[in-house]
Copies of this chain bind each other. A is one copy, B any other.
Amino acid sequence: MTHVRITATHLADGRELFYFDDSEPYVSGAATRRLDDPRPLPPQFADGAQGPQMRRDPLTGDWIPMATHRMNRTFLPPADANPLAPARPGAAYSDGEIPDTDYDVVVFENRFPSLARVEGTPGPGDLEGEPLWEVRPADGRCEVICFSPDSTRSLREVSPLRMRTIIEAWAQRTEALSQIEGVQQIFPFENRGEEIGVTLHHPHGQIYAYPYLTPRTSIMLDRAREHRAATGGNLLADVMTAELRSGRRVIAQSEHWVAYVPAAGRWPVEIHVAPLDTSRPIPDLAALTDAEKDDLAGFYLEILGRCDMFFPDDDGSPTRLPYIAGWHQAPVGEGRDDLRLHLQLFSIRRAPGKLKYLAGSESGMAAWISDTTPEKVADRLREVATAYVPAGLENPGDHR
Q: Which residues of A contact B (CB under 8 A)?
A: 55-68, 114, 127-128, 130, 132-133, 187, 189-191, 196-198, 206, 208, 210, 214-217, 219-220, 222-223, 227, 235-236, 238-239, 242, 245-246, 248, 262-266, 324, 326, 328, 344, 346, 355-361, 363-373
Contacts and interface: CB of A to CB of B under 8 A. Distances in A.
Contacts of A328: 364
A373 B67 contact: yes
Contact of A132 (B65, B214, B238, B367): B238
How many monomers of this protein are in the complex?
2
A187 B365 contact: yes
Given A189-B364, A344-B364, A57 B266 contact: yes
Most chain B CB atoms below 10 A, which of A128, A132, A196, A210: A132
11 contacts: A58-B239, A59-B235, A64-B264, A114-B361, A128-B248, A130-B246, A132-B238, A133-B263, A210-B367, A214-B361, A324-B363
Contact of A65 (B61, B238, B370): B370
Nearest to A366: B215
Given A62-B367, A264-B64, A369-B65, A187 B360 contact: yes
Contacts of A132: 238-239, 242, 263
Contacts of A236: 59
A37 to B, nearest CB: 27
B67 A372 contact: yes
Contact of A223 (B60, B190, B266): B60
Secondary structure of the A contact surface, majority rule? mixed
B242 A365 contact: no
A67 to B, nearest CB: 5
Nearest to A68: B373
Contacts of A67: 370-373
Contacts of A65: 368-370
Given A238-B132, A360-B187, A365 B264 contact: no
A58 B364 contact: no
B246 A128 contact: yes
B128 A223 contact: no
Given A130-B242, A133-B264, A242-B130, A220 B59 contact: yes
Contacts of A198: 359
A185 to B, nearest CB: 9
Nearest to A67: B371
Most chain B CB atoms below 10 A, which of A56, A59, A210, A361: A59
Contacts of A208: 360-361, 365, 367
B66 A373 contact: yes
A326 B365 contact: yes
Contacts of A220: 59-60
A207 to B, nearest CB: 10
Given A66-B373, A324-B364, A219 B60 contact: yes
A61 B187 CA distance: 22
Contacts of A266: 57, 62, 64
Contacts of A210: 365, 367
Nearest to A205: B360
A310 B221 CA distance: 40
A370 B66 contact: yes
A64 B242 CA distance: 19
Contact of A191 (B223, B265, B356, B359): B359
B58 A368 contact: no
Contact of A357 (B55, B197, B248, B369): B197
Contact of A58 (B264, B324, B344, B365): B264
A114 to B, nearest CB: 4
Nearest to A344: B364
A101 B365 CA distance: 35
A397 to B, nearest CB: 34
